[in-house]
Structure formats: structure tokens, C-alpha cells
Amino acid sequence: MLDREGAVPLYHQIYLFLRDEILSGQRPFGSAMPTEQELAEAYDVSRITARRVLNDLAEQHYVERKRRVGTRVIFKSPAKPIEANIDQAYDSLLAFGEGTDVKVLEVSKVPAPARAATSLQIETGTPVIRSVRLREMEGVVIGWIVSYVPIELEPYITPESLAEQPILKILEGVGYRLQHAEQTINAVLAFGEMLESMNVELNSPILRITRVSYDENERPFLLTYAHYRADRFHIRMDLQGPSTL
């Protein structure tokens, strides 16, 4: 969601949203970008603002703009996806959720923004449930978590349920077992809602983990943006050599 009263210009906020979708693979190489008109309508901004967003993406070589063809993604990630054991990752996520304190800031029904709609494979503007939580450790806020789930899960995603259990545990209890997930980790700069919630300054370094969770039918049922303070959070991976017989 855009911070319309903050110091960061709207065009740059939208630029960051779209850039991160490209970097995370949500908008893969060769995929079509929204037109200026579609972008203006999706974010409720002027065509001039939308044009600047797309032009800036083109200048940074994320997209290519051609007359009568449109705007397409030309960025190819130099890194290959790393496969990991989903059961271990699931256990780690639950342990982290249960090992930190949670404060629920918001649970509301909202029109799906473009980036959430793409991940959940629904039309932009379709009603979804948005939740916002803080994760604290020893009284210090370390994470600002924003999640989206389809509207049919509204009865289960409530302030009360989120205060008691991690969201994956809640959804598992109603039949949405995590089968696999796509996860991207990247660095962003703090702005908008997270500034006050996380007690950080504008443009402070933030580690963002974007995760789309799928069930056994390959349906995406949960999109999560987990933002963590770079001075309070790190990721550790134990890498093993190839097994030998």
C-alpha cells in the first residue's frame, strides 16, 4: 500500500514495488508489464506518474518499452533457485513464530493490490484478507509482517487467532497444508507504515523475505512479506557437502 503522506514520492514507491516483483521472480523474464493506464488505475495515480515509473524501470534495464508492443520484463536473475527441504523449513518457521511475541496491528478485507493478486493467482481488486503483525523479541520489535490470504479464509484469520498461533499453523488446522513455497530474500529501504511500527528511520536497511505458500493442489493460499530490521535479524544456513557412499 502506498504511503501518500510520507517523504518518499509515489512514483518511487511504485517503482520499488514493481522492481521487487521483478527481482523476486513474480514478474519473470518476458512477461508483460501493466500499461500506463492499468498502472495508474491500480495505484490510483496519474498517467504521468505511471509513465515515470515504467520509464525508470526501463532506464535501469529491468524492462523494455516498445511502441505497439508494450512493456516487457528483460531482467534475468544471475542466481539459480536453491532447493531446500520443505519440512525443515516449515518446522523452522513454526519455531520462530512460537519463539517470538506477536502483536496484531490489523486484520481487514481489502481489494487485492496488483502484486498480491499476481502471487495468489486472482484478479487485481478481488477481495482478500490482509493482516499486519509485529514480531518482538525481549521487548524489541524485530519484524513487521504483512500477509494476504484468499477471502474464503476470512473466518479463520482473526486478531484473536493470529495472537495465539502462527498463521501457517492456523491454516494447517483448516486443511491448508504447506506443500511447497517460493521464497525470495532481498534488501529494501524502510518507508511508509513500517517506520513507526518498527521504530526505524526513513531509508534504514531492511531485510525482506517474500514467500508464496502452495497447498497439495498447487494453489497459492498465502502471500507473506516479512520485513526484519537488519541490525536485529540474520539468516543462518548450514550447508552440507555432497553425501558419499
Alpha-carbon torsion angle 77, 10, 146, 124, nearest 10: -80
The mean pLDDT value for 132-150 works out to 93
Res 215: pLDDT = 94
Q: Are residues 63 and 144 in the same domain?
A: no
Q: Are residues 45 and 104 in the same domain?
A: no
Q: Are residues 99 and 46 in the same domain?
A: no
Query: Who wins on pLDDT, 200 or 127?
Result: 127
Q: Are residues 96 and 27 in the same domain?
A: no
Helix, strand, or coil (residue 163): helix
The string of DSSP codes covering 181-235 is EEEEEEEEE--THHHHHHT--TT-EEEEEEEEEE-TTS-EEEEEEEEEETTT---
On whether the CB atoms of residues 231 and 141 are closer than 8 A, the answer is no
User: Is residue 236 assigned to a domain?
Assistant: no
Domain tally for the chain? 2
Q: Are residues 96 and 187 in the same domain?
A: yes
Domain that holds residue 69: 10-73
User: Is residue 4 assigned to a domain?
Assistant: no
User: Is residue 80 assigned to a domain?
Assistant: no
The mean pLDDT value for 84-91 works out to 68
Q: Are residues 133 and 213 in the same domain?
A: yes
Answer yes or no: is pLDDT of 88 > 80.
Answer: no
Answer yes or no: is pLDDT of 164 > 80.
Answer: yes
Res 94: pLDDT = 67
Q: How confident is the model at residue 84 (pLDDT cuts 50, 70, 90)?
A: low
Mean pLDDT score of the chain, rounded to an integer? 87
User: Is residue 235 assigned to a domain?
Assistant: no
Distance (Å, rounded) from C-alpha 143 to C-alpha 208? 9
The CATH number for 140's domain is 3.40.1410.10
Q: Are residues 186 and 219 in the same domain?
A: yes
User: Is residue 66 assigned to a domain?
Assistant: yes
Q: How confident is the model at residue 100 (pLDDT cuts 50, 70, 90)?
A: confident
User: Is residue 238 assigned to a domain?
Assistant: no
Res 80: pLDDT = 63
Helix, strand, or coil (residue 35): coil
Answer yes or no: is pLDDT of 9 > 70.
Answer: yes
pLDDT tens per residue, range 29-82: 898 999 999 999 988 999 999 999 999 999 999 999 998 889 999 998 776 666
Distance (Å, rounded) from C-alpha 144 to C-alpha 147? 10
Q: Are residues 115 and 213 in the same domain?
A: yes
Q: Are residues 143 and 22 in the same domain?
A: no
Q: How confident is the model at residue 243 (pLDDT cuts 50, 70, 90)?
A: low
Q: Are residues 119 and 143 in the same domain?
A: yes
Q: Are residues 94 and 19 in the same domain?
A: no
Res 48: pLDDT = 96
Classify the C-alpha dihedral 101-105-110-116 as positive or negative: negative
Alpha-carbon torsion angle 92, 97, 101, 102, nearest 10: 150
User: Is residue 118 assigned to a domain?
Assistant: yes
Res 202: pLDDT = 80
Query: Who wins on pLDDT, 28 or 227?
Result: 227
The mean pLDDT value for 117-123 works out to 90
Res 137: pLDDT = 86
Q: Are residues 103 and 169 in the same domain?
A: yes
The mean pLDDT value for 160-168 works out to 94
Answer yes or no: is pLDDT of 244 > 70.
Answer: no
On whether the CB atoms of residues 222 and 234 are closer than 8 A, the answer is no
Query: Who wins on pLDDT, 100 or 217?
Result: 217
The CATH number for 67's domain is 1.10.10.10
The mean pLDDT value for 201-211 works out to 87
User: Is residue 47 assigned to a domain?
Assistant: yes
